[in-house]
Chains A and B, each alone.
Chain A
Amino acid sequence: MKSRLVLWAIATAVLVALPPLLLAIGQPFYVDLTRRIMILAIAAVSLNLILGYGGMVSFGHAAYIGIGAYAVGILGFYGHFNGGLHFLVAIGASALVALAIGAVSIRTSGIYFIMITLAFTQMLYYLGISVAEFGGDDGMRLKRRSELPFLDLNDPVQFYYLALVLMLISVFLVSKLVNSRFGMVLRACKSNEARSRAIGFSPYPYRLAAFVIAGAMCGLAGALYGNHTNYITPGLMSWTQSGDIMFMVILGGMASTAGPVLGAFALLFFEDLLSGWTQHWQVILGPLLVLSVIFFRRGLAGIFYKPDA
């Protein structure tokens, strides 16, 4: 436990020190990249709650990135730039949509659950394409970024630190959650559903609550991501985006605190590194990912510590 905290402290110190260092050596691009990674890491952390700890293989988590981003875009379209309002609507709308999707899909399991969550997200994806007012297929540019007190999101470094703080908070929240009574029920129902029912737990309400929490958290990531790209397209909700987030969780280590963050960093840094070398970077990344799954059964986090009992 202690050594984990030390690792977290070191990682945080590095991330805090990164922007001034990168700017000093004239590499502002990497501030942007790291910021993007940290924002998507929030999405991965939220997915880990339901996928890693809850055993719910949601293949539609990008829906909430889209909802969060469009919340910022659409409010801006109608002239509302209050960041607090943006984030609140992003989180609230994502929670509501997660409630609706979860209420239906959690009644199923296994392959049906995967397909239903995918289907709902595809519906939202095509909804995004079909609404011409908000750019349709082409997407929409933000008129302005969200306006926050004391913070200017147009300043790459300030935005970077906001993403870092929110990422750390989301990691902390999920780690508290999965060790609470609520979290124990969630994990117990993943471990052995029949046993859980036999001692008196009904899995459904707990799973649904976790699904909503994860959706809301990912909605926040979406609002940040919209501000990050400054340009919102339905592509944010595409199934490949859902797959990317899922892969971050699996690569980093399901049901581990640091896993999704490690996964996000590993996947996106590699993607960037390889795409700098060759146009056909996916040909290299694919096999690397397959190998990593084969050799790191518990993900990258498994290198650092064993899973909790």
Chain B
Amino acid sequence: MLEVRSLVKSFGALRATDGIDFDVREGETHAVIGPNGAGKTTFIGQLAGNIRPDGGRIRFAGEDITALPAAQRARKGLARSFQITSIYPEFSALHNVALAVQATSGHSFRFWSPAFSDDGILQPAEAILREVGLGTRARVLAASLSHGEQRQLEVAMALATKPRLLLLDEPMAGMGAEESRRMIDFLGTLKQRHTMILVEHDMDAVFRLADRISVLVYGRVIATDVPERIKLNEEVRRAYLGEDS
């Protein structure tokens, strides 16, 4: 589904991405972990199309997308959530999702009829809000939602674009224990139907959800394997799990 080959990105003397090879198979949940400063954000930025790599190739669903900008990748089915909550604060929760639905239903050079009165957009948006557990909060201004609800809204917007691959950048960031638990349960149901890349610090979540894990250290993938073997991998323990967790 996704194929990354010898991806390189430098900022000055710093090699933030140092020849990464990375694969995501259809249907799997592939977690990316690594200590702070390992280059996870830079890597995700290149997958999503916000950062241009210096070298290497990214193929998505059999197509080379290395040169495509973010908006076009999104239209091809690569949806993302952001580490730092990124929503439309002055729109209602429903309209946030409705915009994402609109984005995937053809071009938007329609100047006359009201955007959000047609059921082709609002009904799917409502269904997705219910799915992520925000059904009763649809009319609330996104800015007024709690932090946890805003994180759910992010996922809802990613889902609304009918993605083939979900790129979740620390979906649990800043959540309380109870909220995290619910989010993990929700992602557990999501992974039945979606292919996902999950970047996460919460090791509980990673080991519960991931089918495979890639460990990123100093811009390199030092190991990719099933969770049980990653736990036992000496190099990983030294580089990451033993040090700070």
Using known A-B contacts A182-B108, A200-B104, A200-B161, determine if residue A195 contacts B71 with beta carbons closer than 8 Å.
no
Binds B, one of A32-40, A58-66, A72-80, A186-194: A186-194
Asked whether A202 lies within 8 Å of B86 as measured between CB atoms, the reply is no
B64-79 vs A: 1/0 string, CB under 8 Å? Answer: 0000011110110001
Q: What are 27 A-B interface contacts by the 8 Å CB criterion?
A: A179-B114, A180-B111, A180-B113, A182-B111, A183-B111, A183-B115, A184-B115, A185-B99, A185-B102, A192-B87, A192-B88, A194-B50, A195-B87, A197-B49, A197-B70, A197-B71, A197-B74, A198-B48, A198-B70, A198-B80, A198-B86, A199-B79, A199-B161, A200-B71, A201-B108, A307-B90, A309-B95
A209 at the interface (CB under 8 A from B): yes
B81-107 vs A: 1/0 string, CB under 8 Å? Answer: 010001111111001000110111000
State the main secondary structure of chain A at its contact with B.
helix
Closest Cβ of chain A to B74, distance in Å, is 4
A181 at the interface (CB under 8 A from B): yes
Residues of A within 8 A of B103 (CB): 196, 199-201
Asked whether A185 lies within 8 Å of B160 as measured between CB atoms, the reply is no
Residues of A within 8 A of B48 (CB): 198
Asked whether A191 lies within 8 Å of B89 as measured between CB atoms, the reply is yes
Q: Once bound together, how far apart are the Cα atoms of A183 and B111, in whole Å?
A: 7
Closest Cβ of chain B to A5, distance in Å, is 15
Interface of B with A (CB < 8 Å)? 48-50, 69-72, 74-75, 79-80, 82, 86-92, 95, 99-100, 102-104, 108-116, 141, 157-158, 160-161
Q: Once bound together, how far apart are the Cα atoms of A200 and B114, in whole Å?
A: 20
Interface of A with B (CB < 8 Å)? 176-177, 179-185, 188, 191-192, 194-202, 205-206, 209, 307, 309
Asked whether A200 lies within 8 Å of B110 as measured between CB atoms, the reply is no
Closest Cβ of chain A to B127, distance in Å, is 17
Q: Once bound together, how far apart are the Cα atoms of A307 and B71, in whole Å?
A: 29
Residue pairs across A and B with CB atoms within 8 Å: the count is: 103
Q: Once bound together, how far apart are the Cα atoms of A202 and B48, in whole Å?
A: 14
Q: Once bound together, how far apart are the Cα atoms of A201 and B100, in whole Å?
A: 9
Closest Cβ of chain A to B233, distance in Å, is 33
Asked whether B69 lies within 8 Å of A197 as measured between CB atoms, the reply is yes
Asked whether A191 lies within 8 Å of B88 as measured between CB atoms, the reply is yes
Asked whether A180 lies within 8 Å of B87 as measured between CB atoms, the reply is no
Asked whether A184 lies within 8 Å of B108 as measured between CB atoms, the reply is yes
Asked whether B88 lies within 8 Å of A180 as measured between CB atoms, the reply is no
Residues of A within 8 A of B157 (CB): 195, 199
Q: Once bound together, how far apart are the Cα atoms of A104 and B100, in whole Å?
A: 28
Closest chain A residue, CB of each to CB of B118: A181
Asked whether B115 lies within 8 Å of A198 as measured between CB atoms, the reply is no
Q: Once bound together, how far apart are the Cα atoms of A16 and B115, in whole Å?
A: 33
Q: Once bound together, how far apart are the Cα atoms of A176 and B87, in whole Å?
A: 24
> Which of A177, A199, A202, A205 lies at the interface centre, i.e. has the most chain B CB atoms within 10 A of its CB?
A199
Asked whether A184 lies within 8 Å of B89 as measured between CB atoms, the reply is no
Using known A-B contacts A184-B102, A209-B109, A309-B92, determine if residue A201 contacts B114 with beta carbons closer than 8 Å.
no
Q: Once bound together, how far apart are the Cα atoms of A176 and B104, in whole Å?
A: 22
Residues of B within 8 A of A184 (CB): 95, 99, 102, 108, 115-116
Q: Once bound together, how far apart are the Cα atoms of A222 and B214, in whole Å?
A: 62
Residues of A within 8 A of B49 (CB): 197
Closest Cβ of chain A to B65, distance in Å, is 13
Residues of A within 8 A of B141 (CB): 309
Asked whether A194 lies within 8 Å of B82 as measured between CB atoms, the reply is yes
Q: Once bound together, how far apart are the Cα atoms of A195 and B108, in whole Å?
A: 16
Closest Cβ of chain A to B218, distance in Å, is 27
Q: Once bound together, how far apart are the Cα atoms of A294 and B80, in whole Å?
A: 39
Query: What 6 new A-B contacts, CB under 8 Å, besides A180-B110, A181-B110?
Result: A184-B116, A195-B82, A196-B99, A198-B71, A198-B86, A198-B158
Closest chain A residue, CB of each to CB of B91: A309
Closest chain A residue, CB of each to CB of B161: A199
Residues of A within 8 A of B80 (CB): 198
